[in-house]
């Protein structure tokens, strides 16, 4: 086969054979949407070598015309795009590259990566198949076993479709059945009133100085529940951010502690731009902090720390919350039939069992129940959205103070009348004192006797000369 009138790898006319007959083959190369090299051909009979040159030129021109007809036919009836066999691991890596361009917190990125590695990324048990070979049934089986992976599957297969690795309209992830309301949210709506009631009882039980967990954890979970802080924000709280002066009692939330790859990391900033905030603390939180504060605390020292002075891991506080909840249940709610660790872990959401993060939902629910302004709730929780409320609404210190006092009142344990340790006196101290009623004597009109005489005669009361003058003018 000889190549003439063109360069190899480019448009050219080739002398070759077709069904053992000598022909000219005109070739045009192009690249498809997937970046793969394609070509279109046109054939014409090739005259013998001793034929006149004019016949050879005419045969080559016929091959070019055949090529042009085939190009026109290809444009009118395009072939379906066949995706190259891009594999799942390649799609996951590409999707991660897109995600890295967005402002995602390191702790959230670590959670996403663990979810994908545990349930989706190919390994020894999950072969690295081409992404176009997955069916909706296969993906639905993964989602049914782990519902939280659904959003990642939709994102990864959506990325593959945008890149042209899947034919248009052939994305199997778009047909997945995903729960519109997660089980966690359903449990929160169902049990939140029970959680509020039991949270107050738990804090009362934990406030007992003889309680095993009082010294280490009472102030920690009291701040979390009454002030609505994230657990990482409580772990990162320093004495320099705690103000216990009279009329200034507050906590300034600045940094946080996160976990990435199982290792704790301190950040001088919060999860969102709105995380840095100042929160008023009620008397109960103030007393709990005074009880654990050193005589001369270093402003840079952590309020809650390990024995070596390092920050607590947020996951460790979650484990301790689970232990304290089980101890509270066995001691106060069901002492006749206590649950062991295995039975407790299999219980799921109940009226007396909830996650540590649900403490923020309890805080927000109490604010909603008490009718606190939405802007104040958003400010106290440190949320960045909705952006319009965050940008245009300002909250007052008095409103924030009122909101925290209401949460503190709701979480005081009133299960035993007249036996709450300090609740009654705190509430009495906060009740506004009655103001004396000022009695003002009515002003007697001038010439009262003359006015009464005019009324007795059926005449109208006399008007002032200024009013009479105003009417005449």
Which CATH number do you get for residue 328? 1.10.443.10
* 43, 76, 109 - which closes a domain: 76
Q: Are 170 and 205 in contact (CB under 8 A)?
A: no
Please write the tens of the pLDDT for every residue from 362-380. 998 888 888 888 888 888 8
Question: Looking at the domain assignment, is residue 461 inside a domain?
Answer: no
Shared domain check, 245 and 109: no
Question: Looking at the domain assignment, is residue 366 inside a domain?
Answer: yes
Shared domain check, 114 and 70: no
For the residues 13-32, what does the mean pLDDT come to? 86
Shared domain check, 195 and 162: no
Question: Looking at the domain assignment, is residue 346 inside a domain?
Answer: yes
Shared domain check, 160 and 124: yes
* 410, 445, 463 - which closes a domain: 410
Q: Which of 255, 218, 214, 239 is nearest to 303 (CA)?
A: 239
pLDDT of the residue at 355: 92
Range among 224-228, 357-361, 455-459 rated most confident: 224-228
Range among 90-99, 141-150, 234-243 rated most confident: 234-243
Shared domain check, 309 and 160: no
Please write the tens of the pLDDT for every residue from 239-272. 999 999 888 889 999 989 988 878 888 888 887 7
Question: Looking at the domain assignment, is residue 453 inside a domain?
Answer: no
Shared domain check, 345 and 199: yes
Q: Which of 275, 278, 268 is nearest to 384 (CA)?
A: 275
Shared domain check, 45 and 135: no
Range of the domain at 319: 184-410
Burial class (CB in 10 A: 0-12, 13-18, 19+), 303: buried
Shared domain check, 342 and 274: yes
Question: Looking at the domain assignment, is residue 424 inside a domain?
Answer: no
- Rounded Cα gap, residues 90 and 160, in angstroms: 9
**Tally of CB atoms within 10 A around 113:** 16
Question: Looking at the domain assignment, is residue 119 inside a domain?
Answer: yes
Which CATH number do you get for residue 104? 1.10.150
Q: Are 36 and 49 in contact (CB under 8 A)?
A: no
**Tally of CB atoms within 10 A around 122:** 13
Shared domain check, 243 and 353: yes
Shared domain check, 195 and 293: yes
For the residues 185-200, what does the mean pLDDT come to? 86
Q: Is 332's pLDDT higher than 80?
A: yes
Shared domain check, 345 and 239: yes
- Rounded Cα gap, residues 205 and 415, in angstroms: 11
Question: Looking at the domain assignment, is residue 403 inside a domain?
Answer: yes
Strand partners, 253: 277
Q: Which of 414, 84, 356 is nearest to 228 (CA)?
A: 356
Tally of structural domains, the chain: 3
Please write the tens of the pLDDT for every residue from 289-299. 999 999 889 99
* 175, 199, 234 - which closes a domain: 175
Full-model pTM: 0.61
pLDDT of the residue at 223: 96
For 38, half-sphere exposure in the C-beta direction (CA atoms, 13 angstrom radius) is 15
pLDDT of the residue at 237: 96
Shared domain check, 260 and 111: no
Q: Which of 232, 220, 305, 225 is nearest to 269 (CA)?
A: 232
Q: Are 275 and 237 in contact (CB under 8 A)?
A: no
pLDDT of the residue at 5: 43
User: Phi and psi for 252 in degrees, rounded to 5?
Assistant: -105, 115
Question: Looking at the domain assignment, is residue 387 inside a domain?
Answer: yes
**Tally of CB atoms within 10 A around 439:** 5
């Amino acid at each position: 086969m000889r190549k003439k009138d063109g360069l190899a790898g480019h448009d050219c006319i080739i002398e070759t054979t077709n069904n053992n007959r000598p022909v000219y083959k005109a070739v045009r190369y192009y690249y498809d949407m997937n970046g793969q090299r394609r070509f279109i051909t046109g054939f014409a009979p090739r005259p013998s070598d001793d034929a006149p040159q004019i016949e050879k030129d005419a045969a080559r021109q016929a091959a070019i015309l055949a090529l042009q007809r085939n190009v026109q036919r290809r444009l009118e009836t395009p072939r379906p795009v066949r995706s190259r066999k891009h594999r799942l691991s390649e799609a996951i890596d590409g999707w991660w590259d897109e995600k890295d361009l967005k402002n995602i917190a390191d702790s959230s990125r670590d959670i996403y990566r663990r979810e994908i590695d545990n349930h989706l990324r190919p390994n020894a048990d999950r072969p690295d198949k081409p992404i176009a070979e997955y069916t909706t049934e296969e993906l639905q089986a993964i989602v049914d076993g782990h519902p939280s992976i659904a959003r990642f599957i939709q994102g990864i297969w959506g990325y593959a479709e945008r890149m042209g690795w899947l034919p248009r309209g052939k994305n199997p992830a778009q047909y997945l059945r995903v729960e519109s309301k997660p089980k966690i949210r359903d449990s929160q709506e169902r049990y939140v009133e029970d959680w509020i009631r039991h949270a107050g009882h738990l804090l009362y039980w934990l406030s007992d100085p003889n309680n095993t967990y009082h010294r280490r954890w009472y102030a920690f979970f009291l701040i979390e529940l009454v002030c609505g802080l994230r657990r990482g924000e409580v772990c990162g709280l320093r004495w320099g951010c705690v103000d216990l002066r009279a009329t200034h009692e507050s906590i300034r939330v600045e940094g946080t502690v996160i976990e990435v790859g199982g290792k704790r990391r301190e950040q001088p900033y919060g999860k969102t731009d709105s995380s840095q905030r100042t929160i008023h603390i009620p008397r109960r939180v103030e007393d709990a902090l005074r009880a654990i504060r050193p005589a001369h605390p270093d402003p840079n020292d952590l309020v809650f720390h390990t024995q070596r002075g390092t920050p607590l891991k947020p996951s460790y506080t979650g484990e301790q919350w689970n232990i304290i909840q089980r101890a509270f249940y066995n001691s106060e709610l069901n002492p006749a039939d206590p649950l062991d660790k295995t039975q407790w872990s299999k219980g799921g959401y109940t009226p007396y069992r909830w996650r540590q993060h649900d403490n923020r939902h309890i805080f927000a629910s109490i604010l909603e129940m008490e009718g606190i302004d939405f802007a104040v709730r958003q400010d106290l929780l440190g949320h960045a959205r909705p952006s319009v409320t965050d940008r245009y609404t300002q909250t007052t210190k008095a409103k924030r103070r009122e909101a925290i006092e209401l949460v503190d009142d709701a979480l005081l344990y009133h299960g035993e009348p007249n036996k709450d340790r300090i609740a009654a006196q705190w509430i009495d101290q906060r009740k506004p004192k009655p103001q004396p009623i000022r009695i003002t004597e009515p002003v007697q009109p001038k010439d009262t006797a003359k006015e009464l005489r005019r009324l007795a005669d059926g005449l109208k009361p006399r008007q002032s000369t200024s009013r009479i003058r105003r009417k005449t003018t």
